[in-house]
A and B are shown apart, each in its own frame.
Chain A
Amino acid sequence: MASLVGFLGDFDLAEEAAQEAFAIAAERWPERGVPDNPAGWLIATARNRAIDRIRRQRTLEAKTRLLDVPEVTVDEIDDAVIGDERLELIFTCCHPALAMEAQVALTLRALGGLTTEEIARAFILSEETMKRRLSRAKAKIKATGIPFAVPADHLLPDRVDAVLAVIYLIYNEGYSGRIDLAAEAIRLGQLLAELMPDEPEVHGLLALMLIHHARHRARFARSELVLLEEQDRSLWDMKALAKGREALDRAIALYGGGPYVLQAAIASLQAEDEIDWDEVAQLYCRLEALTGSPVVELNRAVAIAQAGELAAALDIVERLDLDDYQYLHSTRAGLLQRLGRGEEARASYERALKLATSEPERRFLQRRIAEL
């Protein structure tokens, strides 16, 4: 798809041409056998069909340059072209001029290779709604002249951040229905790491996703929430954990110290047999300095508490402005409970319960209240 979009400068045309090429392949290959370079054949066929279509439509715009292009043969297309243009496609799909939900949908469609129906299911929307979302996004790309290009160097840092944000958003959708978006996000992260091997934050995000993913099967025991310290480590995916740590090493070798690298480093430390909570707290401190996020401060408080300083942790928590955040109250409750202040702990747990959004979380909090 990527090289077609680049060649044609038009998403829809590229899609239609690709579909025609696939249809022809589906007809011919069973009889005649698969050609030597199937990807190359598909692209050449798709380009030729598109050129035919354009000639027939006699469009006058910039596409007229294509009318002068001779019919493309398979030999002229090699894997380098296919690889190179995927980065342009990623930056186009994740352009900040598009609404976030459109960026997510386009990225999954164009790079994740999911069908419109699968994307709709993953976000619990109708296929019609998703079709419209994708059309509107493609229309905007065309109408506003969003370029099919890797951004200029001085724009790259912000634009890479935008791409990482989209991938991370997809990852956090997790396992929706029958579509494993977390796995899709990791695949996209790996692709980006291949295409931009010198960007530390790219490796940082990949590391973060892999390390979290390694632990996901241990997070629920018979649909009950299990805290980190109680998790059954035999359920961890050690291969994913190892790959995550490799990615983290690459990021650090590139002098990475951005938010994703820091979060990955924290996740890696938390997967150790003996967790160095002091180091975790220090990393949260650096992360807070970068992001100014009170949620990060909350996590730092938790780390300090785990290192044994309950009173200092409670101090930090009391000063945070996160009244509508359930984990503030559940953290505060946990600290008060450990400090022997049962009644205050109960009040905080109940506040957290009111804000809880999932059944496993509610049951967990109710158990805590019962234990008091």
Chain B
Amino acid sequence: MKYALLIYSKPGSHEALPEDEYKEVFGEYAALVDDSRCIASGQLQPVETATTVRVQDGRTLTTDGPFADTKEVFGGYYVFEADNLDEAIELAGRIPAARLGGAVEVRPVVEH
């Protein structure tokens, strides 16, 4: 089954890390990309670069900022091929954001 792992980070949590820890954490993200089960991944640029688009009555409405004005910010994602939810949860637990005050949402991807 394919699982999307949506990463929500506590703002500033990664930047606050000392240099060597930051490098280690960066390595952990990279290791997950290199995992044979990883199908896709993406790191988003900071929330300040976000733009939200809606279309109402045929008109495109554009606003500055992310969709959800929450404390935690959606910052990136992985898509993994895993046998079951427990395997996906284990992978999600390895994502540094989860232990640095953020959270990872795990949802199966619709397969056609």
Q: Do chains A and B stick together as partners?
A: yes
B4–chain A nearest beta-carbon distance, Å: 12
A147–B108 touching, CB < 8 Å:
no
Interface residues on A, range: 10 to 19
Produce 1/0 per residue, A89-122, CB < 8 A to B. Answer: 0000001010000000000000000000000000
- Distance of A149 Cα from B84 Cα, bound (Å): 10
Produce 1/0 per residue, A119-151, CB < 8 A to B. Answer: 000000000000000000000000111110101
| Residue B83 interfacial (CB < 8 Å) | yes
A145–B89 touching, CB < 8 Å:
no
Instruction: Report the nearest A residue to B107, measured CB to CB.
Output: A144
Query: In the complex, what residues of B have CB within 8 A of residue A143's CB?
Result: 108
- B-binding residues in A (CB < 8 A): 95, 97, 143-147, 149, 151-152, 155
A154–chain B nearest beta-carbon distance, Å: 9
Which label, helix, strand, loop or mixed, suits the secondary structure of the B interface?
Answer: mixed
Query: In the complex, what residues of B have CB within 8 A of residue A95's CB?
Result: 85
Query: In the complex, what residues of A have CB within 8 A of residue B106's CB?
Result: 144
Query: In the complex, what residues of A have CB within 8 A of residue B90's CB?
Result: 155
- A-binding residues in B (CB < 8 A): 1, 82-86, 88-90, 106-108
Sample of 19 further A-B pairs with CB below 8 A, known A144-B108, A146-B86, A151-B86 = A95-B85, A143-B108, A144-B85, A144-B106, A144-B107, A145-B1, A145-B82, A145-B83, A145-B85, A145-B88, A145-B108, A146-B84, A147-B83, A147-B84, A147-B85, A147-B86, A149-B84, A152-B86, A155-B86
B76–chain A nearest beta-carbon distance, Å: 21
B39–chain A nearest beta-carbon distance, Å: 16
- Distance of A145 Cα from B111 Cα, bound (Å): 13
B86–chain A nearest beta-carbon distance, Å: 6
- Distance of A145 Cα from B85 Cα, bound (Å): 5
Instruction: Report the nearest A residue to B88, measured CB to CB.
Output: A145
Query: In the complex, what residues of A have CB within 8 A of residue B1's CB?
Result: 145
Return 28 A-B CB contacts under 8 Å, by A number: A95-B85, A97-B85, A97-B89, A143-B108, A144-B85, A144-B106, A144-B107, A144-B108, A145-B1, A145-B82, A145-B83, A145-B84, A145-B85, A145-B88, A145-B108, A146-B84, A146-B85, A146-B86, A147-B83, A147-B84, A147-B85, A147-B86, A149-B84, A149-B86, A151-B86, A152-B86, A155-B86, A155-B90
